[in-house]
Amino acid sequence: MSLFDVFNVSGSAMNAETIRLNTTASNLANAESVNGDPTKVYRARHPVFQAVMNSEMGLDDAAGASSGVRVMGVVESTTPPIQTYEPNNPLADKDGYVYTSNVNSIEEMANMISANRSFATDVEAVNTARDLLLKVISMGH
């Protein structure tokens, strides 16, 4: 019964979107983090999504039809950190420079909206499947 697969598929997607929201929150929280060492400053993190077939999730799926999502890993942005001259900053290096994290707040806000929308869509899919299955249960009454 494929309608039951909807719960697993959409559930895995909601999990992945939650991880995406978490990384976005972490990025926004550290948007203004500074460090005197450019290699140690916080770098923006982004999850990489990957489709996962039902057979891998241990579900019965003869047609190989539906597929869920998993987070393959979290990658750090390679954009160079922003260098600013602040000789009075206690974290400044010997030349008086501090390095701010490479988080792009606008990009993160857009990411947050996208994750929010996708999560809402997945919830809607679960609700629809649940309503239909409840109607199947009450069939003939």
- Closer to other proteins by CB, 10 or 100: give it: 10
Give the position of tokens 């290699």.
Answer: 39
Neighbours of 115 (CB within 10 A): 20
Task: Report how far residue 82's alpha carbon sits from residue 43's, in angstroms, rounded to the nearest whole number.
Answer: 11
Contact status: 67 vs other proteins (CB under 8 A): yes
Contact status: 116 vs other proteins (CB under 8 A): no
Contact status: 3 vs other proteins (CB under 8 A): yes
The torsion angles phi and psi of 115, rounded to 5 degrees, stand at -65, -40
Contact status: 97 vs other proteins (CB under 8 A): no
**Least Å from the CB of residue 15 to other proteins:** 10
Q: In this structure, are residues 80 and 38 in contact, taking their beta carbons and an 8 Å threshold?
A: yes
Contact status: 49 vs other proteins (CB under 8 A): yes
One-letter amino acid of 125: A
**Least Å from the CB of residue 31 to other proteins:** 22
Task: Report how far residue 28's alpha carbon sits from residue 12's, in angstroms, rounded to the nearest whole number.
Answer: 24
Interaction site with other proteins (CB under 8 A): 1-3, 5-6, 9-10, 12-13, 16-17, 20, 48-51, 62-69, 114-115, 117-118, 121-122, 125, 128-129, 132, 135-136, 139-140
